[in-house]
Amino acid sequence: MNEALTMRRRFLELAPWHVNGTLSAVDQAWVEDYVRSRPEAHAELTWYALLQEKIRADAPPVPPEAGLERLLHRIRKSP
């Protein structure tokens, strides 16, 4: 596999995680460096960011304790 394709695949794997801020510092720096010289990659990151905003805006509010209570209940019921 050529280097450009390998880098492209890596970018596609890391882009969503970059947008939500969960990448390691090393991976975050790699994505930022990759995007700096590739306008199309910058546009894709913008698209991911807009998608994230849309999903967050459309998601119904869930009280934080709702998920925790359900999980604790399942843990308590398990043998």
Is the overall model pTM greater than 0.85, yes or no? no
Tell me the domain boundaries of the chain: 3-77
Q: Which two tokens stand for residue 74?
A: 């399942």
Q: Give every CB contact of residue 32 below 8 A, 6+ residues apart in sequence.
A: 18
Residue by residue, pLDDT tens for the chain (79 residues) are 699 899 999 999 999 999 999 999 999 999 999 999 999 999 999 999 999 999 888 888 777 677 777 888 888 887 7
